[in-house]
Protein backbone atom coordinates (compact mmCIF):
# COMPACT_ATOMS: atom_id res chain seq x y z
CA UNK A 1 0.00 0.00 0.00
CA UNK A 2 2.83 2.42 0.90
CA UNK A 3 4.41 1.84 -2.54
CA UNK A 4 1.16 2.88 -4.22
CA UNK A 5 0.89 5.91 -1.94
CA UNK A 6 4.29 7.25 -3.03
CA UNK A 7 3.53 6.86 -6.73
CA UNK A 8 2.43 10.20 -8.10
CA UNK A 9 0.49 10.39 -11.32
CA UNK A 10 2.98 11.17 -14.10
CA UNK A 11 2.61 14.48 -15.93
CA UNK A 12 3.15 14.84 -19.69
CA UNK A 13 6.65 16.36 -20.19
CA UNK A 14 6.70 20.00 -21.27
CA UNK A 15 9.50 19.43 -23.78
CA UNK A 16 7.44 16.72 -25.51
CA UNK A 17 4.66 19.17 -26.44
CA UNK A 18 4.63 19.76 -30.20
CA UNK A 19 3.84 23.26 -31.52
CA UNK A 20 1.83 25.92 -29.61
CA UNK A 21 4.99 28.04 -29.30
CA UNK A 22 3.09 31.21 -28.27
CA UNK A 23 1.52 29.51 -25.27
CA UNK A 24 4.76 27.80 -24.20
CA UNK A 25 6.77 31.04 -24.43
CA UNK A 26 4.16 33.06 -22.48
CA UNK A 27 4.12 30.45 -19.69
CA UNK A 28 7.92 30.26 -19.52
CA UNK A 29 8.31 34.06 -19.28
CA UNK A 30 5.68 34.27 -16.51
CA UNK A 31 7.45 31.57 -14.57
CA UNK A 32 10.75 33.47 -14.89
CA UNK A 33 9.08 36.74 -13.82
CA UNK A 34 5.65 36.25 -12.14
CA UNK A 35 5.26 40.05 -12.02
CA UNK A 36 4.45 40.00 -15.75
CA UNK A 37 0.90 39.34 -14.57
CA UNK A 38 -0.19 35.96 -15.86
CA UNK A 39 -1.39 34.58 -19.18
CA UNK A 40 -4.75 34.39 -20.89
CA UNK A 41 -4.81 31.48 -23.34
CA UNK A 42 -7.62 31.59 -25.87
CA UNK A 43 -8.10 28.92 -28.47
CA UNK A 44 -9.88 25.92 -29.88
CA UNK A 45 -10.98 22.97 -27.79
CA UNK A 46 -8.60 20.02 -27.57
CA UNK A 47 -5.41 21.97 -28.29
CA UNK A 48 -3.54 20.89 -25.16
CA UNK A 49 -4.09 24.00 -23.00
CA UNK A 50 -4.54 22.11 -19.70
CA UNK A 51 -1.78 19.60 -20.55
CA UNK A 52 0.73 22.40 -21.20
CA UNK A 53 -0.12 24.28 -17.99
CA UNK A 54 0.24 21.16 -15.84
CA UNK A 55 3.49 20.35 -17.64
CA UNK A 56 5.06 23.75 -16.84
CA UNK A 57 4.17 23.38 -13.13
CA UNK A 58 5.76 19.93 -13.05
CA UNK A 59 8.91 21.32 -14.67
CA UNK A 60 9.62 23.89 -11.96
CA UNK A 61 12.18 23.20 -9.19
CA UNK A 62 10.88 22.53 -5.67
CA UNK A 63 10.42 25.52 -3.35
CA UNK A 64 11.46 25.87 0.29
CA UNK A 65 8.57 26.54 2.69
CA UNK A 66 8.03 26.89 6.42
CA UNK A 67 6.78 23.55 7.66
CA UNK A 68 3.06 23.28 8.55
CA UNK A 69 2.38 26.82 7.33
CA UNK A 70 -0.96 27.25 5.57
CA UNK A 71 0.39 29.74 3.02
CA UNK A 72 3.63 28.14 1.74
CA UNK A 73 5.56 30.96 3.46
CA UNK A 74 9.18 31.53 2.48
CA UNK A 75 11.58 31.07 5.44
CA UNK A 76 13.65 34.22 4.68
CA UNK A 77 11.85 36.42 2.11
CA UNK A 78 9.70 38.88 4.08
CA UNK A 79 7.37 39.55 1.11
CA UNK A 80 6.44 35.88 0.88
CA UNK A 81 5.71 35.32 4.59
CA UNK A 82 2.40 35.16 6.38
CA UNK A 83 1.94 37.46 9.40
CA UNK A 84 2.20 34.46 11.75
CA UNK A 85 5.59 33.45 10.36
CA UNK A 86 6.77 37.11 10.52
CA UNK A 87 5.83 37.17 14.22
CA UNK A 88 7.84 33.98 14.80
CA UNK A 89 10.86 35.47 13.00
CA UNK A 90 10.63 38.64 15.13
CA UNK A 91 10.57 36.45 18.25
CA UNK A 92 13.76 34.74 17.00
CA UNK A 93 12.04 31.37 16.85
CA UNK A 94 13.67 28.61 14.81
CA UNK A 95 11.68 27.77 11.69
CA UNK A 96 11.49 24.21 10.46
CA UNK A 97 11.48 24.09 6.68
CA UNK A 98 10.78 21.57 3.95
CA UNK A 99 10.80 21.43 0.15
CA UNK A 100 7.56 21.00 -1.79
CA UNK A 101 6.57 20.88 -5.45
CA UNK A 102 5.43 24.22 -6.86
CA UNK A 103 1.69 24.37 -6.06
CA UNK A 104 -0.58 23.96 -9.07
CA UNK A 105 -4.15 24.85 -8.10
CA UNK A 106 -7.17 24.31 -10.35
CA UNK A 107 -10.05 26.69 -9.77
CA UNK A 108 -13.34 24.91 -10.50
CA UNK A 109 -16.01 26.86 -12.40
CA UNK A 110 -18.60 26.59 -9.65
CA UNK A 111 -16.26 27.89 -6.90
CA UNK A 112 -17.74 30.30 -4.36
CA UNK A 113 -16.02 33.41 -3.03
CA UNK A 114 -15.42 31.67 0.33
CA UNK A 115 -13.80 28.71 -1.43
CA UNK A 116 -11.49 31.06 -3.34
CA UNK A 117 -10.58 33.55 -0.60
CA UNK A 118 -11.01 31.49 2.57
CA UNK A 119 -13.31 32.04 5.56
CA UNK A 120 -13.07 33.38 9.08
CA UNK A 121 -14.85 31.45 11.84
CA UNK A 122 -16.91 34.37 13.23
CA UNK A 123 -18.56 32.33 16.00
CA UNK A 124 -15.24 31.20 17.43
CA UNK A 125 -13.77 34.68 17.13
CA UNK A 126 -16.68 36.22 19.06
CA UNK A 127 -17.07 33.52 21.73
CA UNK A 128 -13.44 32.52 22.33
CA UNK A 129 -11.59 35.54 20.98
CA UNK A 130 -9.56 33.30 18.63
CA UNK A 131 -9.09 34.39 15.03
CA UNK A 132 -9.53 31.14 13.08
CA UNK A 133 -8.97 31.24 9.35
CA UNK A 134 -9.88 28.46 6.95
CA UNK A 135 -7.61 29.05 3.93
CA UNK A 136 -9.02 29.06 0.40
CA UNK A 137 -7.54 28.35 -3.01
CA UNK A 138 -5.59 31.66 -3.06
CA UNK A 139 -3.67 30.53 0.04
CA UNK A 140 -2.88 27.16 -1.52
CA UNK A 141 -1.72 28.81 -4.75
CA UNK A 142 0.78 31.17 -3.03
CA UNK A 143 4.18 30.88 -4.78
CA UNK A 144 2.65 28.62 -7.41
CA UNK A 145 0.31 28.60 -10.40
CA UNK A 146 -3.45 29.19 -10.25
CA UNK A 147 -5.21 27.80 -13.29
CA UNK A 148 -8.73 28.82 -14.28
CA UNK A 149 -10.15 26.85 -17.18
CA UNK A 150 -13.04 28.54 -19.03
CA UNK A 151 -12.21 31.82 -17.27
CA UNK A 152 -14.64 33.62 -19.61
CA UNK A 153 -17.49 31.68 -17.95
CA UNK A 154 -16.42 32.62 -14.40
CA UNK A 155 -18.33 35.28 -12.44
CA UNK A 156 -16.87 38.73 -13.14
CA UNK A 157 -16.50 39.57 -9.43
CA UNK A 158 -14.48 36.36 -8.88
CA UNK A 159 -12.22 37.19 -11.83
CA UNK A 160 -11.78 40.65 -10.25
CA UNK A 161 -10.71 39.08 -6.92
CA UNK A 162 -8.21 36.78 -8.67
CA UNK A 163 -6.71 39.63 -10.69
CA UNK A 164 -6.48 41.93 -7.65
CA UNK A 165 -4.67 39.24 -5.63
CA UNK A 166 -2.37 38.40 -8.52
CA UNK A 167 -1.47 42.08 -8.97
CA UNK A 168 -1.01 42.97 -5.29
CA UNK A 169 0.39 39.63 -4.09
CA UNK A 170 -1.98 39.69 -1.08
CA UNK A 171 -5.43 38.42 -0.24
CA UNK A 172 -7.50 40.11 2.48
CA UNK A 173 -10.62 38.51 3.97
CA UNK A 174 -12.90 40.67 6.12
CA UNK A 175 -15.96 39.49 8.04
CA UNK A 176 -17.85 41.47 10.71
CA UNK A 177 -14.90 43.77 11.41
CA UNK A 178 -12.39 40.89 11.65
CA UNK A 179 -9.66 40.91 9.02
CA UNK A 180 -7.10 38.33 7.90
CA UNK A 181 -4.41 39.05 5.31
CA UNK A 182 -2.03 36.59 3.72
CA UNK A 183 0.46 36.49 0.80
CA UNK A 184 -1.03 35.32 -2.50
CA UNK A 185 1.76 35.52 -5.07
CA UNK A 186 0.94 33.27 -7.98
CA UNK A 187 1.04 33.10 -11.75
CA UNK A 188 -2.57 33.39 -12.90
CA UNK A 189 -3.28 31.34 -16.01
CA UNK A 190 -6.71 31.54 -17.60
CA UNK A 191 -7.87 29.61 -20.60
CA UNK A 192 -11.01 29.74 -22.67
CA UNK A 193 -12.68 29.20 -26.01
CA UNK A 194 -13.66 32.44 -27.83
CA UNK A 195 -16.86 30.75 -29.08
CA UNK A 196 -18.14 30.74 -25.48
CA UNK A 197 -17.82 34.50 -25.08
CA UNK A 198 -15.06 37.03 -24.53
CA UNK A 199 -13.88 38.47 -21.23
CA UNK A 200 -14.79 42.09 -20.53
CA UNK A 201 -12.01 44.37 -21.96
CA UNK A 202 -11.18 45.81 -18.51
CA UNK A 203 -10.62 42.29 -17.13
CA UNK A 204 -8.74 41.12 -20.21
CA UNK A 205 -6.39 44.12 -19.90
CA UNK A 206 -5.35 42.94 -16.43
CA UNK A 207 -3.76 39.75 -17.79
CA UNK A 208 -0.10 40.37 -18.59
CA UNK A 209 0.01 38.31 -21.77
CA UNK A 210 -2.50 36.85 -24.22
CA UNK A 211 -1.64 33.74 -26.23
CA UNK A 212 -3.83 32.56 -29.08
CA UNK A 213 -3.70 28.90 -30.07
CA UNK A 214 -5.17 27.21 -33.08
CA UNK A 215 -5.66 23.59 -34.03
CA UNK A 216 -2.62 22.31 -35.94
CA UNK A 217 -3.52 21.90 -39.63
CA UNK A 218 -0.30 20.27 -40.90
CA UNK A 219 -1.01 16.49 -41.22
CA UNK A 220 2.53 15.34 -40.31
CA UNK A 221 2.51 17.50 -37.14
CA UNK A 222 -0.92 16.17 -36.17
CA UNK A 223 0.40 12.62 -36.55
CA UNK A 224 3.42 13.50 -34.37
CA UNK A 225 1.15 14.95 -31.64
CA UNK A 226 -1.09 11.87 -31.65
CA UNK A 227 1.94 9.54 -31.54
CA UNK A 228 3.48 11.46 -28.66
CA UNK A 229 0.26 11.32 -26.66
CA UNK A 230 -0.33 7.61 -27.40
CA UNK A 231 3.24 6.80 -26.36
CA UNK A 232 2.76 8.64 -23.06
CA UNK A 233 -0.63 7.05 -22.35
CA UNK A 234 0.61 3.51 -22.99
CA UNK A 235 3.86 3.86 -21.00
CA UNK A 236 4.33 7.22 -19.24
CA UNK A 237 7.56 6.29 -17.45
CA UNK A 238 9.36 5.33 -20.68
CA UNK A 239 8.21 8.63 -22.22
CA UNK A 240 9.43 10.60 -19.17
CA UNK A 241 12.80 8.82 -19.36
CA UNK A 242 13.10 9.70 -23.04
CA UNK A 243 12.63 13.43 -22.33
CA UNK A 244 14.48 13.49 -19.00
CA UNK A 245 17.61 15.18 -20.36
CA UNK A 246 15.63 17.89 -22.21
CA UNK A 247 13.45 18.48 -19.13
CA UNK A 248 16.49 18.89 -16.86
CA UNK A 249 18.14 21.25 -19.35
CA UNK A 250 15.03 23.46 -19.51
CA UNK A 251 14.65 23.33 -15.72
CA UNK A 252 18.21 24.64 -15.20
CA UNK A 253 17.65 27.33 -17.90
CA UNK A 254 14.61 28.61 -15.95
CA UNK A 255 16.56 28.69 -12.65
CA UNK A 256 19.48 30.53 -14.30
CA UNK A 257 17.11 33.02 -15.95
CA UNK A 258 15.43 33.75 -12.59
CA UNK A 259 18.85 34.49 -11.05
CA UNK A 260 19.95 36.63 -14.01
CA UNK A 261 16.72 38.65 -14.30
CA UNK A 262 17.51 41.40 -11.69
CA UNK A 263 20.66 42.34 -13.67
CA UNK A 264 19.04 42.59 -17.11
CA UNK A 265 18.92 46.13 -18.55
CA UNK A 266 16.86 47.68 -21.32
CA UNK A 267 18.23 50.79 -23.06
CA UNK A 268 16.31 54.06 -22.84
CA UNK A 269 15.94 54.16 -26.65
CA UNK A 270 14.22 50.77 -26.68
CA UNK A 271 11.90 51.80 -23.83
CA UNK A 272 10.91 54.84 -25.88
CA UNK A 273 10.23 52.61 -28.91
CA UNK A 274 7.95 50.35 -26.81
CA UNK A 275 5.98 53.37 -25.59
CA UNK A 276 5.83 54.77 -29.14
CA UNK A 277 4.28 51.48 -30.33
CA UNK A 278 1.74 51.55 -27.46
CA UNK A 279 0.88 55.16 -28.25
CA UNK A 280 0.49 54.51 -32.00
CA UNK A 281 -1.81 51.56 -31.26
CA UNK A 282 -3.86 53.79 -28.91
CA UNK A 283 -3.44 51.37 -25.98
CA UNK A 284 -5.26 52.65 -22.88
CA UNK A 285 -3.17 53.07 -19.72
CA UNK A 286 0.47 52.13 -19.18
CA UNK A 287 0.06 48.44 -18.40
CA UNK A 288 1.05 47.49 -21.96
CA UNK A 289 4.35 49.43 -21.70
CA UNK A 290 5.20 47.91 -18.31
CA UNK A 291 4.39 44.31 -19.27
CA UNK A 292 6.33 44.54 -22.57
CA UNK A 293 9.41 45.84 -20.72
CA UNK A 294 9.16 43.01 -18.17
CA UNK A 295 8.57 40.29 -20.77
CA UNK A 296 11.48 41.48 -22.94
CA UNK A 297 13.78 41.40 -19.89
CA UNK A 298 12.60 37.89 -18.97
CA UNK A 299 13.28 36.69 -22.54
CA UNK A 300 16.78 38.23 -22.50
CA UNK A 301 17.48 36.47 -19.18
CA UNK A 302 16.17 33.19 -20.62
CA UNK A 303 18.55 33.64 -23.58
CA UNK A 304 21.39 34.20 -21.08
CA UNK A 305 21.91 37.89 -21.85
CA UNK A 306 22.18 40.94 -19.58
CA UNK A 307 20.79 43.35 -22.16
CA UNK A 308 17.48 43.45 -24.05
CA UNK A 309 17.77 43.47 -27.83
CA UNK A 310 15.25 44.60 -30.47
CA UNK A 311 14.65 40.93 -31.32
CA UNK A 312 13.41 40.26 -27.77
CA UNK A 313 10.82 43.03 -28.05
CA UNK A 314 9.67 41.77 -31.46
CA UNK A 315 9.10 38.29 -30.03
CA UNK A 316 7.06 39.34 -26.97
CA UNK A 317 5.22 42.53 -27.93
CA UNK A 318 2.32 40.90 -29.79
CA UNK A 319 1.65 38.67 -26.75
CA UNK A 320 1.67 41.73 -24.49
CA UNK A 321 -0.50 44.10 -26.55
CA UNK A 322 -2.98 42.28 -28.80
CA UNK A 323 -5.66 41.99 -26.07
CA UNK A 324 -5.35 45.67 -25.09
CA UNK A 325 -6.43 47.16 -28.42
CA UNK A 326 -9.86 48.73 -28.70
CA UNK A 327 -12.15 46.44 -30.63
CA UNK A 328 -13.77 47.93 -33.71
CA UNK A 329 -16.56 45.60 -34.88
CA UNK A 330 -16.10 46.81 -38.48
CA UNK A 331 -12.34 46.19 -38.47
CA UNK A 332 -11.38 43.28 -40.74
CA UNK A 333 -7.73 43.08 -39.65
CA UNK A 334 -6.86 40.81 -36.69
CA UNK A 335 -5.48 42.64 -33.61
CA UNK A 336 -2.29 40.54 -33.70
CA UNK A 337 -1.60 41.58 -37.30
CA UNK A 338 -2.32 45.20 -36.42
CA UNK A 339 0.32 45.07 -33.66
CA UNK A 340 2.75 43.40 -36.07
CA UNK A 341 2.33 46.16 -38.70
CA UNK A 342 3.05 48.94 -36.20
CA UNK A 343 6.00 47.02 -34.70
CA UNK A 344 7.53 46.47 -38.14
CA UNK A 345 7.28 50.17 -39.00
CA UNK A 346 8.71 51.43 -35.68
CA UNK A 347 11.26 48.71 -34.86
CA UNK A 348 13.27 48.63 -38.05
CA UNK A 349 16.33 46.47 -37.53
Catalytic (active-site) positions: 287
Torsions phi, psi of 10, nearest 5?
Answer: -65, 145
First to last CA, the chain: 62
Strand 63-66, strand 104-106: pairing: unpaired
Element (H, E) at 148: strand 144-149
C-alpha to C-alpha distance for 163 and 104, rounded to whole angstroms: 17
Dump the DSSP string for 91-142. Answer: TT----EEEEPPPEEE--TT--HHHHHEEE-HHHHHHH----EEE-HHHHHT
CB 20, CB 212: distance < 8 Å? no
Q: Beta partners for 105? A: 146
C-alpha to C-alpha distance for 63 and 72, rounded to whole angstroms: 9
CB 339, CB 281: distance < 8 Å? yes
C-alpha to C-alpha distance for 266 and 275, rounded to whole angstroms: 13
- CB neighbour list of residue 208: distance below 8 Å, 6 or more residues apart: 30, 36, 37, 38, 39, 291, 294, 295, 320
Amino acid sequence: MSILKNKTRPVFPFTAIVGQEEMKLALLLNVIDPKIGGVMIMGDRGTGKSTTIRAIADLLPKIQVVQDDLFNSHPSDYDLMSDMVKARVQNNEDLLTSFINVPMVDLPLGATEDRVCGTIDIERALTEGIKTFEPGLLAKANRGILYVDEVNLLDDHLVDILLDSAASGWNTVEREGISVRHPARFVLVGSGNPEEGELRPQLLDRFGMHAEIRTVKEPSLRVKIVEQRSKFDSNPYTCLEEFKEQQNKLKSSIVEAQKKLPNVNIDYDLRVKISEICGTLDVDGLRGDIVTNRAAKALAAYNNRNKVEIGDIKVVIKLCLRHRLRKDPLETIDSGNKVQQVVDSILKL
